[in-house]
Chains A and B, each alone.
Chain A
Amino acid sequence: MTTLTQHTSTAPGKSIIEKLNVFTALALGVISAVVVWRLSLAFLPEDAEGARLFSREDKITLLSMCGWFVGFMTGIGALVGPMRWVMGKDLAHDENMFLAGENMGPKRYFRYTTDHKVVGIQYLFITILIFFLGGGMAMLIRTNLGTPEGGWLHPQAYNSIVGTHGILMIVGTIIMITGPFGNFIMPIMIGARDMAFPRLNALSFWLIVAAAVPLIWGQFIGGITTGWSAYNPLAGQAPLGMDGYIMYICIFAISTMVAGANITTTVVKMRAKGMTWNRTPIFIYGTVASVALALPAFPVFFLSQILSAFDRALDTSFYNVAGGGSGWLYENLFWIMGHPEVYVILIPAIAALMEMAPVFTRRPLFSFNVAVLGIAGISGLSVLVWAHHMYISGWAPLLNAPFMLTTELISIPTGMMFLVLIGTLWRGRLWMTMPLMSIFALLWNFMIGGITGIYLSDVPADAFLHGSMYVTAHFHYTLMGAGLTGALASLVYWFPKMTGRMFDKTLSWISFWLVQIGFNVAFIGMFMVGLAGQPRRVEAYAPTFNTANLVTTIGAYTIMIGMLVLLHGVISSARNGVKASKNPWQAKTLEWTVDYPIPLENFDVLPVVTTDPYGYGKAKS
Chain B
Amino acid sequence: MSVETHAHHEHPDVVGSRNRLGVILLLVADIAFALSMVFVYFYLRGQNVNNMWLPAATSDHPAIEPLSAGPGWTVTAIAAFGLLAHMYGLKGARSQNQTQLKLGSLVALVASVIAIGYQYNTISSAPFTFSDGAYVSCFYMFAIMNMVHLLLTLFISFGNWNRARLGLYVENFWHVDIVRIWWIWMVVSSLLGAFSLSYP
Contact = CB atoms under 8 A, between A and B. Distances in A.
Interface of A: 1-5, 48, 51, 82, 85-88, 90, 93, 96, 193-194, 196-197, 200, 257-258, 260-262, 264-265, 268-270, 292, 295-300, 302-304, 307, 310, 314-318, 321-326, 328-329, 332-333, 336, 599-601, 603-606
Contacts of B141: 307, 310, 318
A350 B53 CA distance: 46
Nearest to A329: B43
Contacts of B140: 310, 314, 316
Contacts of A601: 1, 5-7
Interface string B1-43: 1100111101010110111011001101111110011011001
Nearest to A268: B21
Contact of B22 (A196, A324, A329): A196
A326 B39 CA distance: 13
9 smallest beta-carbon distances between A and B, as pairs: A324-B52, A324-B134, A86-B159, A299-B33, A261-B25, A316-B137, A296-B32, A257-B29, A88-B166
Given A196-B18, A261-B28, 4 more contacts: A260-B25, A292-B25, A303-B37, A310-B137
A51 B22 CA distance: 43
Given A295-B29, A297-B32, A302-B33, A197 B22 contact: yes
Contacts of A292: 25
B81 interface: no
Contacts of B5: 193, 601, 603-606
Contacts of A3: 12, 15
A315 B6 contact: no
Contacts of B1: 599-601, 604
Contacts of A303: 33, 36-37, 40
B185 interface: no
A599 B6 CA distance: 12
A317 B133 contact: yes
Contacts of A268: 21
A51 B43 CA distance: 25
Interface-centre pick from A96, A197, A324, A329 (highest chain B CB count, 10 A): A324
Given A86-B158, A262-B22, A325 B49 contact: yes
A51 B131 contact: yes
Interface in B110-161: 129-138, 140-141, 155, 158-159
Interface-centre pick from A48, A88, A258 (highest chain B CB count, 10 A): A88
Contact of B7 (A193, A326, A333): A193
Contacts of A82: 155, 159
11 contacts: A82-B159, A93-B8, A197-B19, A261-B25, A270-B18, A324-B50, A324-B55, A325-B49, A329-B43, A329-B47, A601-B7
B29 A318 contact: no
Interface-centre pick from B12, B25, B155 (highest chain A CB count, 10 A): B25
B21 A269 contact: yes
Contact of A298 (B18, B29, B162): B29
The contact size tier of chain B is: 35 or more
B100 interface: no
B48 interface: yes
Contacts of A261: 22, 25-26, 28-29
A333 B50 contact: no
Contacts of B159: 82, 85-86, 88
Interface-centre pick from B10, B19, B32 (highest chain A CB count, 10 A): B32
B65 to A, nearest CB: 15
B8 A96 contact: yes
Interface string B42-84: 0110011111110100000000000000000000000000000
A296 B29 contact: yes
A86 B26 CA distance: 19
Contacts of B44: 318, 324-326, 329
A315 B130 CA distance: 6
B32 A326 contact: no
Contacts of B2: 604
B181 interface: no
B163 interface: yes
A119 to B, nearest CB: 15
B188 to A, nearest CB: 15
Given A86-B158, A265-B18, A333-B40, A323 B25 contact: no
Given A5-B168, A601-B6, A323 B131 contact: yes
Nearest to B55: A324
A328 to B, nearest CB: 7
B172 interface: yes
Contacts of B166: 88
Nearest to A332: B43
A441 B21 CA distance: 38
Contacts of B12: 3-4
Contacts of A600: 1
B174 to A, nearest CB: 9
B29 A260 contact: yes
B33 to A, nearest CB: 4
A214 B30 CA distance: 24
Contact of B49 (A1, A85, A90, A321): A321
Nearest to B3: A93
A295 B28 contact: yes
A249 to B, nearest CB: 13
A270 B7 CA distance: 11
B130 A328 contact: no
